[in-house]
Amino acid sequence: MGPPFRGKTKMAPGRIRLGMIGGGQGAFIGGVHRIAARMDDRFTLVAGVLSSDPDRGRRSATDLGLAPDRAYGSVDEMVAGERGRPDGAEVVAVVTPNHLHFEAAKACLEAGLHVICDKPVTATLEDAETLARVVATSGKLFILTHNYTGYPMIRQARAMVAAGELGDLRVVQAEYAQDWLTTPLEQQGIKGAEWRTDPQRSGAGGSIGDIGTHAYNLAAFVTGREPTSLLADLATFGQGRRLDDNASILLRYADGAKGMVWASQVAVGNENHLTLRIYGSKSGLEWNQEDPNRLWFTRHGEPKQLMTRNGAGAWPEAVRSSRIPAGHPEGYLEGFANIYTEAAKAIEAARQGAVDATALYPTVGDGVRGMRFIEACVTSNAAGGQWTVISNP
Amino acid sequence: MGPPFRGKTKMAPGRIRLGMIGGGQGAFIGGVHRIAARMDDRFTLVAGVLSSDPDRGRRSATDLGLAPDRAYGSVDEMVAGERGRPDGAEVVAVVTPNHLHFEAAKACLEAGLHVICDKPVTATLEDAETLARVVATSGKLFILTHNYTGYPMIRQARAMVAAGELGDLRVVQAEYAQDWLTTPLEQQGIKGAEWRTDPQRSGAGGSIGDIGTHAYNLAAFVTGREPTSLLADLATFGQGRRLDDNASILLRYADGAKGMVWASQVAVGNENHLTLRIYGSKSGLEWNQEDPNRLWFTRHGEPKQLMTRNGAGAWPEAVRSSRIPAGHPEGYLEGFANIYTEAAKAIEAARQGAVDATALYPTVGDGVRGMRFIEACVTSNAAGGQWTVISNP
Amino acid sequence: MGPPFRGKTKMAPGRIRLGMIGGGQGAFIGGVHRIAARMDDRFTLVAGVLSSDPDRGRRSATDLGLAPDRAYGSVDEMVAGERGRPDGAEVVAVVTPNHLHFEAAKACLEAGLHVICDKPVTATLEDAETLARVVATSGKLFILTHNYTGYPMIRQARAMVAAGELGDLRVVQAEYAQDWLTTPLEQQGIKGAEWRTDPQRSGAGGSIGDIGTHAYNLAAFVTGREPTSLLADLATFGQGRRLDDNASILLRYADGAKGMVWASQVAVGNENHLTLRIYGSKSGLEWNQEDPNRLWFTRHGEPKQLMTRNGAGAWPEAVRSSRIPAGHPEGYLEGFANIYTEAAKAIEAARQGAVDATALYPTVGDGVRGMRFIEACVTSNAAGGQWTVISNP
Amino acid sequence: MGPPFRGKTKMAPGRIRLGMIGGGQGAFIGGVHRIAARMDDRFTLVAGVLSSDPDRGRRSATDLGLAPDRAYGSVDEMVAGERGRPDGAEVVAVVTPNHLHFEAAKACLEAGLHVICDKPVTATLEDAETLARVVATSGKLFILTHNYTGYPMIRQARAMVAAGELGDLRVVQAEYAQDWLTTPLEQQGIKGAEWRTDPQRSGAGGSIGDIGTHAYNLAAFVTGREPTSLLADLATFGQGRRLDDNASILLRYADGAKGMVWASQVAVGNENHLTLRIYGSKSGLEWNQEDPNRLWFTRHGEPKQLMTRNGAGAWPEAVRSSRIPAGHPEGYLEGFANIYTEAAKAIEAARQGAVDATALYPTVGDGVRGMRFIEACVTSNAAGGQWTVISNP
C-alpha cells in the first residue's frame, strides 16, 4: 500500500442531516456535492427539492434513496416539512442554476437552516449583499463552495504566506484557462453553455464570473488580502455570444503589490488550467490545479523545492486536509470534500453553541467579494478599460 | 464549474449491504475501502469485525455508526449473525493484515457471501490456490483490490492494446519505486514497516510482494498477457531487514516480447512512482500513477499525443470510469472506487442470477498469478538469479 | 549516435569578415556573439574595438588572436583602417553597452559596413528612428539580435500561424520572468545590475526594456502582427531602484485579438522563464524558452501534440534551423547562431547584389518597434495606467 | 540579456592544430566534432582525410576551407605530410565509421599525434586492448568522445557522488531509449541504419554498442565505479535485423549495489531518452539528457530540489562547464564541446610536458571498458541470459 501515513483516517463522530435544492438527474454539480458530502461520511442526505420539474424530482429522489415524503416540490414545502421533524435537515445544499441561489438560500437561512451554496453566491452584487445581511441576522452558517480553496497544497500555500515565508507580497499571477467555449456551443443545445452565456441566468459576467472569480478568490485566499482596484479588458470571441469569454485583468493592492488575472474559455489546449503564482521579497510559490498535489517553493538564491501533499515539506495545514499518503494523488473531489468536512465540523460546533475557529471554508463574504470583483470588471470594461476601485468596505 | 461533461453522474439503483473484517481505528486501508465504497453510493456498511481487540472493535463500530449488535468479535460470529437476517451483509470486505486474508475470505465464501479482498490475496501461493478453488466451488464473487487497474487511463490503455493500436507487443517497462524504507523504520516502531518486513506476516516477498506485484499486475492488466518466465535479482539495503527492499526483474513473454520490472522501497525521492511504458510495433504508451489523468500515446513517426481523462482522445473505457470533467483531476480514491462500483454492479447482476460481462475488476485469479510471480522471483533469486518458469497453468 | 538526421550539416561556402565593437575581456554578450558567429563557421573575426580602455582592448585582441594592427582604439579608427584593406571587415557586430549602440552602428553603416547589433537597438526611440533612416539610406544590412526568434520551434510556430493552422488570432500571452533583481544588486557592485537599472544607460525602461521587449518581439514575430494599443502598469520593488522591475501589460490588436505581457525581474524561482502562448479560433500553441526544443500544439477537440525540433511534427522551418537530431537538445547559443548564419547568407547574397528573401532575422524595424513599445509603456504608466496608442506608422 | 553570470567567458589562449579523419560531406558526426572544436575557439582545422572517396574528400576540403595540399587521400599521407611541417597537426579527430577507428587512431598515435576518437573506440575488444597499449607506449593523449559526460549537470552529479552526498551507493537505473529503428530502415537504404545493424561494421553489439554503452559509461562516470558482473537479455524486433535492437541488462557491483540498464531503439515515442537515476543510503539523483540543464536531488526526508546549470544549487564542476546563465539552455553541442575544450587544455599542458590533472574527458580506458561491457552482454545473452563476469582487470 505505501509509506507510513501522517494524516488521519477520518471517522464520523455524528452525521449531519443534509437537504438539497437542485441536483436532480442530469445536474452535474449536484452529484459533485453529494460525493463531497459522502467522502468523509459526515452527512446523510435526508430531504430535497431536486428539480423544478416534479416528475424529474421524484425520479431523482428514488435514485438517491430519499424517503418519498421528503422529496419536496418547492423550497417552501421543504422548509415547512423539515421544520417539524426531530430528524429534519440541519443544513441545505443549494446547487440550482446560479440565478436561483439567492431565493433558495435566503429562505433556508430564514427558516433557521445552515446553507452550503455553490458559487457564484447570487446573480447580482445587490442580492449578494442582501444575502450577507440575512446570514448575519440568521446566526446560521453559510458555506460557499469555492472548492479550489480545499486543495491541501493551497492551504499550505496560504499558511506559508501567513507565516511570512514569502516576505512582502510583490506579484500575484492567477490564471484560469479553458477551451470548451472555443466554438459557440450555446447554439448547439449544450445546456451548460447556454446558461453560462445568458446574461439573464449568469448575470453580467461570462468567463469572469464562471472561472475568473475562482482565480480571484484563490489569490485572495492564499495571499490573505484583496486588491483595492482593478482594470479589465473583456472580450467575446465566440460568434453571437452575449457574455465575455476572455478576460485580461490587472490588479493593484494597497501595499503596492501588483497582480494579473487571465480568465479564458477559448484558450485551445487548456482544460482547467487554474494556476497561481505568488512572489514576495523572499520567496516564490507556484501551483497548478491540474497537478494539485505539488507546490513549488523557491527561496531566493536556493534551488526550487517540490513540496508534496503529505510528503517531505508538507505543512500541518496540508496534512490535515489529506486522506492518503504522498504519491497517491488526491484530486478535485477530495478538495471539494474538504469544504464539506469543514462545514460538518462547524455545524457540529454550532450544535453546541460553539464556533469552529479552525474553519477555512469560504463564506458569504467571499461571495460578496466575488460579486464586487465581477462588478468592477464590468464597470472597468464598460469605461473602455479604466482603473476601477473595488468597493470592499 | 466547467466544460460539458461527457461521463455520467452515477446514481445508486440500490445499495449493497457490506460487512467489513479489519479496518478498525488506526487501520489505514480500511478507511480507504470505506471511502471507495461510499464514493458512488452503492454500498451501506452494515456489519463488521473491525478489530481483533474487542474494545477497539466496539469503539470503531461506534465511530462508523454500526448497530452495536452487528459489531462482531470474530468472523464466525459475523457469519452466523448476518446469515439469519433479511438485511444481512451480502458482501464482505477483507482488510486485515495480509496473513489473515485467507481464513477470513474462505469463511465468508463458504457462508455464501461475496468477498472484496485487499491485496495480496494471501500470504502463500498454496493458500491462494486453495482459495481460488473455494471461490470456484462457492459460486460467489471475489474481487481483489489491485486498485491501480481502476484508473481510467489504465482502462483506456488496456482497451487500446486490445484494439491493436500498438501492433505487436515488444517491450514492457514497469516500475514501482518508493523511498520510505530507505532507513530501517521497522526498528523504530513503525507498524506498517514492521509487518511489511516480517516474513511471518508478509510471506517470502518484501518489495516484490508489497509493490512489485502491483507493477506486475498492472502490466498484465494493460497488455492482456502474462510472461512465461522471469529472472529476479533481489536486494536488501535496509540494515537488519529480513526481506527484499529492491528488486530488479526481467520478463520474457511467449511471443518474444521482453519486459523489465523495477520495484524499490529505497529509491530516495520517489513517493509512489508506479509507471508503465509499453511499446509495440506500431505505437507506444506511457503512464505514471502520480499523474494518472494523463496517458501519452505515440504512433511511430507522429508527434506524441497527450490523452486526458474525459478530454480529447479519451476512449469510452476511460469516460465510463470518470466522474468529473477533464482538467479536474481524479486520483487514487476514485480509481479505488471504480473497483468497488464494478463490484456493486456485479453483485446486483448476481442477485438476478446474471453475470456482469463488462466487469474489469481483478479476481482471485489475479491474486494467484501475483503469488506465482512472488514465488518465481524468490526461486530465481535463491538460485543466484536464474531464469525461472512462471507456473501459470 | 542517433537516428537518421533530417536537417543538413552546415558547411561554409565562404567566410564573412567580421569586426566587433565592444566585447572585450569580461563582457559577457560579446562572447556569446563570437560563439554564435563561430557555430556554423561562416565568419572570421578580423578587427575590433574591443574596449574603451585601450589596455583592456589590446589584451582582449591578443586573447582573440586579432592582428595587433587591427585592434583599434575607436570606431573611427576601425572604420578608417578597415576601409582601405582588400580583406577589410564587411560587417561589424555592435555589442557595447546599450547607450553606445547608436553612434557605433551609425558610423559603421555610413562607412558602408553591414551591422549586427545587440538589442535594444538604441537607448531612445528618437535614435532608433534616426538609425532606421540611416540604414535605409546606406543600403546596408542591419541585423538586430533578438535572438529568441532564432529558436527552431519559434520559427515553426511562426510558420504555423502564417499557414492558418491557428485560424483567427484571439489571445496572446507572453511572459518573461526572472528573479535575479529580487534584491538591489545594483547597490552591491554588480555591473550588469548597475547599468540595467540606470536610466542614463538603459533609457526609460527597466524590465520592460531588458526583457519585456523580448517577449513583445517574440509575440510579434510569431503572430506576424503588432498590437495597436497597450496599457502598462509598471512597478519597482527593489529598494532604491530607479527603473521598473515588474511590468503588467495589456495589448489590443486591430482585429480584436487581446494580449497580456508580463515582465518581471523579481519573480523568485524564475531564471529565464520566457513563454509564449497563442490561441486562435482553431488551435493553440505553447512554447517555453527553458525547454525550447518542444512546441505544444492543440487542435480544438483533439489531444495536445508534442512537436519536437527535427522530430515527428517538425516543419521545414524548424528543420532548416537545426543542426542535430531530435532528442539531442539545442539551446540558446544555437538559436543565437541561427541569427548569425542568416546574416551570413544575406551578406553573401548582398555581395552578389541580391537579396536573401528567406531571411527571418530581426532588423532595425524590429528595433524601432521595440522602442515604441517601451515608449508606450512608459507613457501609459505615467498617465496612471491608461490605454495608449502604439505609434507604429 | 540576463542575470549576473557566474561562469567565465572562455577565450582562447592559443589554438590547437587539428586534423580530421572522416567527416566529409554528408557525414553527420564529423560536423558535430567540428562545431564542438569551434565552440570555444581552441582549435583550428588544418588538415584532413575527409573521405575515402578522393573526389568527395576534395570537395569537402574546399567546403571547410582547408588548404588543398593538406586535404590528404589517406591516413598515411596525412601523417607523412603533417610530420614535416612546423605548423603540422598536433591532434587528429577520428570520425570514420566505427570499424575504421582502430587503424586510423593507431597510425596517428604511432606518428606522435594526439587522438580524439569518436565512440565506440574500436569494433572489437581485442582491438581496443591493443589500442590501449599503443596509447600507453606513445605517451600521447587519447580522448574518447563519450560526449554525454560533458554535460555540466552530469559533472555536478559525479562530484556530488564523490563528495559523499548520496551516502553508500545502492541502486543505479540507466536507460537509453530511441525509436528510430522501430521499422527495418536498414532495408530502405538509410545508411546510418545499415552500418549500425551490420555485424561486419558495428561488431557484435547493436543497440548495446550504439547506445547501451553510452548509458553504461554515463553510470560509471557519475558513480565512479564499474559493476563486476552483468546479465543481458537481448532482443531483435526489427524484421530481418541482424543485431539486437532492445537490451535488458542487470548489473551487480562489488559492494552490493544493483543496477539496471535498458537500451532500446524500438521504443516508440522516445527520441534520445537517456536517463540516469542513482540512489544511495542518504540521497537520490535523477537526470534526463533531453532536459540536461536540470538535476533533481533529494535528501531522504526532504523535498526534492531542482538544481540548475549555473543556477542556485550549481556546484563549481557544473559552473566550470557552462557558458551562459541559468535559464538559458545549453545543449548537446555544448556538452560535446566541453570534451573538446578539455582536450585542448590537456594538449596545451602536454606541450609544456605537464599533465592537466583536472581533465574529466573519457579515455581509451573508457573505450576498453565499453567493449568489455558489450562482450559481456553478448556472452551473457548467448548463454541464455546468465550472469557473466565483466573482465575488468
| Peptide bond before residue D316 is cis, with ω within 30 degrees of 0 | no
Indicate the residue type of A21: I
Structural domains of chain A, count:
2
Last residue of a domain, one of C147, C165, C181: C147
Same-domain status, C283 and C157: yes
For D211, how many CA atoms within 13 A lie in the half-sphere containing its CB?
33
Burial (CB count <10 Å: 0-12, 13-18, 19+), residue C87: exposed
Q: Is C258's Cβ below 8 Å from some Cβ in A?
A: yes
Q: Is the Cβ pair C384, A387 closer than 8 Å?
A: yes
Domain annotation covers residue A9: no
Range ranked top by mean pLDDT from B83-92, D7-16, D242-251: D242-251
Helix, strand, coil percentages, rounded to 5, for chain C: 40, 20, 40
pLDDT greater at residue D356 or residue D7: D356
User: Would you place residue D6 in the very low, low, confident or very high pLDDT band (cuts 50, 70, 90)?
Assistant: very low
Beta strands at B304-308 and B294-299: parallel, antiparallel or unpaired: antiparallel
In this prediction, residue D111 carries a pLDDT of: 97
Residues 111-170 of chain B whose Cβ lies under 8 A from any Cβ of chain C = none
Over residues A355-366, the mean pLDDT reads: 95
Q: Is C78 found in the same domain as C24?
A: yes
The end-to-end CA distance of chain C, in Å, is 51
pLDDT band at residue D14 using 50, 70 and 90 as cut-offs: low
Same-domain pairing of B50 and B27:
yes
What type of residue sits at position B348?
A: E
d(CA D231, CA D252): 9
Hey, is the C-beta of C248 within 8 angstroms of any chain A C-beta?
yes
Residues of chain C with Cβ-Cβ distance to B318 below 8 Å are none
Q: Do D64 and C327 touch (CB under 8 A)?
A: no
Q: Give residue A349's pLDDT band: very low, low, confident or very high (50, 70, 90).
A: very high
B111-156 pLDDT, tens digit per residue, is: 999 999 999 999 999 999 999 999 999 999 999 999 999 999 999 9
Backbone phi, then psi, for A387, in 5-degree steps? -65, 135
Q: Is residue A336 part of a domain?
A: no
Q: Which residue out of C51, C144, C332 would a mutagenesis test of the D interface target, given it has the greatest number of D Cβ atoms within 10 Å?
A: C332
Judgement on whether residues A62 and A193 belong to the same structural domain of the protein: no
C233, C256, C300 ranked by CB distance to A258: nearest: C233
Amino acid in the structure at residue B171? V
What are the tens digits of pLDDT across the range C276-313? 999 999 999 999 999 999 999 999 999 999 999 999 89
Question: Could you tell me if residue B7 is inside a domain?
Answer: no
Full-model pTM: 0.96
**Closest CB to B286 among D183, D269, D286:** D269
Alpha helices in D140-286 (DSSP H): 152-162, 191-196, 199-202, 207, 213-223
Q: How far apart are CA A43 and CA A18, in angstroms?
A: 6
Question: Which chain D residues have a beta carbon less than 8 Å from that of B387?
Answer: 384-385
Q: Which residues contact A344 (CB under 8 A, 6 or more apart)?
A: A16, A40, A42, A43
Distance CA A243, CA A236 (A): 6
- Decide if A391 is inside a domain: no
CB–CB contact C28 D1 (8 Å): yes
State whether D184 and D316 are in the same domain. yes
Give the residue on B whose Cα is nearest the Cα of A6.
B28
Give the separation between CA B315 and CA D232, rounded to whole angstroms: 37
- State the pLDDT at residue C393: 63
Position D5 scores a pLDDT of: 43
- Answer yes or no: is B339 within a domain: no
Q: Tell me what the mean pLDDT of segment A290-295 comes to.
A: 98
Angle formed by the axes of helices D332-351 and D152-162, nearest 10°:
70
Kindly list the partner chains of chain A, i.e. chains with 3 or more CB atom pairs below 8 Å. B, C, D
Classify residue A139: in a domain, yes or no.
yes
In the predicted model, is pLDDT for residue A393 greater than 70?
Answer: no
C219 interaction partners in chain A (CB closer than 8 Å): none
Place of cell 535498458: D262
Does B326 sit within 8 Å of A330, measured CB to CB? no
Q: Pick from D147, D175, D195: which residue ends a domain?
A: D147
pLDDT for the residue numbered D174: 98
Q: What DSSP string runs through B283-337?
A: EEEEEETTSTTEEEEEETTS-EEEEETTSTT--HHHHTT--S-TTS---HHHHHH
Q: What confidence tens digit (pLDDT) does each residue in C346-393 have?
A: 999 999 999 999 999 999 999 999 999 999 999 999 999 999 999 876
Residue A6 has pLDDT above 80, yes or no: no
Average pLDDT over residues C46-59: 91
Q: Hey, are the CB atoms on C291 and D27 less than 8 Å from each other?
A: no
Is the Cβ–Cβ distance between D37 and D340 less than 8 Å? yes
Query: Quick check: C92 pLDDT over 60?
Result: yes
Instruction: Look at residues B123, B147, B171 and tell me which one is the last residue of a structural domain.
Output: B147
Omega cis (within 30) before D68: no
Please report residues of A whose CB lies closer than 8 A to that of D309. Answer: none
Which of A297, A306, A308, A309 should we substitute to test contact with D (largest number of D Cβ atoms within 10 Å)? A306
Collect all residues of chain A within an 8 Å Cβ-Cβ radius of residue D301. Answer: 312
Say which residues have a Cβ less than 8 Å from residue C109's Cβ, sequence separation at least 6.
C115, C131, C134, C135, C138, C140, C142
Do C102 and C201 lie in one domain? The reply is no
pLDDT band at D19 (very low <50, low <70, confident <90, very high): very high
Q: What percent of chain B has pLDDT over 70?
A: 96
Residues of D whose CB is below 8 A from A304? 305-306, 312
Choose, out of A5, A6, A10, A11, the residue to mutate when testing the contact with B (most B CBs < 10 Å).
A11
Which of B66, B324, B338 is most worth mutating to test chain A (most A CB atoms within 10 A of its CB)? B324
> Which CATH number is D154's domain given?
3.30.360.10
Q: Are D46 and D70 in contact (CB under 8 A)?
A: yes
**B382 pLDDT more than 60:** yes
- Amino acid identity of residue D201, one-letter, is R
How distant is the Cα of C41 from the closest Cα of chain A, in angstroms?
A: 37
Whether B179 and chain D come into contact, CB under 8 Å, resolves to yes
In A, which residues are within 8 Å of B39 by CB distance? Answer: 35, 38-39, 333
CA proximity to D331, closest of B287, C308, C95: C308
Which of D156, D300, D304 is the best substitution to test chain A (most A C-beta atoms within 10 A)?
D304
Residues 269-308 (D) with a CB less than 8 A from some CB of C: 270-273, 289-293, 308
For C108-147, b/e burial (b = at least 16 CB within 10 A) is bbebebbbbbbbbbbbbbebbbebbebbeebebbbbbbbb
ipTM of model: 0.95
In-domain check, residue D343: no
Give the mean model confidence (pLDDT) for residues D325-337.
Answer: 97
Domain shared by A218 and A259, yes or no: yes
Average pLDDT taken over every residue of chain D: 94
Please report, rounded to a whole number, the percentage of residues in chain D having pLDDT higher than 90. Answer: 86
Give the rounded distance of the alpha carbon of D22 from its chain centre.
17
**Together in a domain, B50 and B199:** no
Chain A residue with CA closest to D300: the answer is A312
Are residue A203 and residue A221 in the same domain, yes or no?
yes
Give per-residue pLDDT as tens, B14-50: 589 999 999 998 888 999 999 999 999 999 999 999 9
Q: B202: which chain A residues are within 8 Å (Cβ-Cβ)?
A: none
Q: What is the CATH number of the domain that holds A25?
A: 3.40.50.720
Residue in this structure with the C-alpha cell 508580463, named with its chain if needed: C262
Contact yes or no for D347/D114 (Cβ under 8 A): yes
- Are D176 and D284 in the same domain? yes
- Count of residues for chain C? 393
Contact assignment for B303 to C302 by CB distance below 8 Å: no
Chain B nearest C-alpha distance from C359 (Å): 28
Q: Is the pLDDT of residue B8 over 70?
A: no
Helix or strand or coil: residue A3? Answer: coil
Q: How far is C3 from chain B (nearest CA, A)?
A: 12
Chain D residues with CB inside 8 Å of A302's CB? 312-313
Q: Which of residues 29-68 of C touch D (CB under 8 A)?
A: 29-32, 34-35, 38-41, 60, 63-65
What does the pLDDT read at residue D12? 47
Q: Could you tell me if D158 and D109 lie in one domain?
A: no
Shared-domain flag, residues A59 and A173: no
Q: Could you tell me the residue range of the domain that residue B34 belongs to?
A: 16-147
The 10s digit of each residue's pLDDT in D238-254 is 999 999 999 999 999 99
Cα B295–B299–B303 angle (5° rounding)? 80
Inter-chain CB proximity C185 and D4 less than 8 Å = yes
Is residue C27 one of the residues assigned to a domain?
Answer: yes
Neighbour-count burial for B18-47, b at 16+ CB within 10 Å, e otherwise: bbbbbbbbebbbbbbbbbbbbbbbbbebbb
Average pLDDT over residues D323-338: 97
CA–CA separation, C114 vs D149, rounded Å? 40
